[in-house]
Amino acid sequence: MKKRTVEVTEVANVINEKLKKGIFLTSKSGDKVNSMVIGWGHIGRVWERPVFIAYVRTSRYTSELIDSNPEFTVNVPVNGFSRQAFALCGMRSGRDIDKISTAGLSLVEPEVISVPAIKEFPLTLECRVIYRQMQDASLLPDDIRNKFYGEACPEEHICYYGEIVAAYMIEE
């Protein structure tokens, strides 16, 4: 298996486009690896560093893992995707099942951090958290707060600013 280094600025538009349908955020603490589907995120520059900002609800297992080990990978499906993997990683909790093996996903050793990449979603960003911020939904306009933080799902997000320390495409 080969990894081809990519420039973050050259893949930013692809990542932003794929975010609309969902990409994967993978975390690891100890021997536990978990991946979840995200549709909110930003890629750009902050503090003169390339960053990916991920938004994770406080109740998610991913948040627990990132707080324990402040690293994550962003895994982008560029050659189609597995509906089973999307459904499983988007609807089930890693607290209850091993989503990686249940979804039939293959982990790939990382370059810099401890969190693996996912072979089936080859465009990979390795990120190290350099800042985290709890969201305060009370500061949002009513229409946004009511739509995204109503009675059905009241918990807020933590914004994880991950410095991109490696970016590559996994190739056979």
Compute how many other C-beta atoms are within 10 angstroms of the C-beta atom of residue 95.
Answer: 10
Task: Decide the pairing of beta strands 23-29 and 71-76.
Answer: antiparallel
Domains of the chain, CATH where assigned: 2-171 (2.30.110.10)
Say what the pLDDT of residue 114 is: 98
Residue 142 region by backbone torsions, left for phi larger than 0, else alpha for psi between -120 and 50, else beta: alpha
CA distance 31 to 83: 26
Provide the whole-model pTM: 0.93
Say what the pLDDT of residue 89 is: 65
CA–CA–CA angle 161, 73, 53 (5° rounding): 20
Please, which residues bridge with residue 57 across strands? 157
Say what the pLDDT of residue 86 is: 67
Say what the pLDDT of residue 79 is: 82
Per-residue pLDDT of the chain (172 residues; tens, 9 = 90+): 899 999 999 999 999 999 998 899 999 999 999 998 899 999 999 999 999 999 998 989 899 999 999 999 999 998 876 777 766 667 767 777 788 888 888 999 999 999 999 999 999 999 999 999 999 988 999 999 888 888 777 788 999 999 999 999 999 7
CA distance 13 to 150: 31
Say what the pLDDT of residue 88 is: 61
